[in-house]
Amino acid sequence: MAPTTPRHDDSIPVLRMVLAVAAVVALVILVFFGVGYGLGRAFV
């Protein structure tokens, strides 16, 4: 019998990509929150 390769090996790059996208989205949200906070403090 030939050894079979695990099927979950393909999910590691996908997981890394999902984590990278989540980090970018979180960073964008924080940047816009910071800009909004700064503008709010400047004009109020």
Structural domain boundaries in the chain = 20-44
Q: What's the confidence (pLDDT) of residue 2?
A: 59
| Residue 38 banded pLDDT, cuts 50, 70, 90 | very high
Counted residue by residue, the chain has a size of: 44
**Torsion over CA: 20, 21, 23, 27 (sign):** positive
| Residue 44 banded pLDDT, cuts 50, 70, 90 | confident
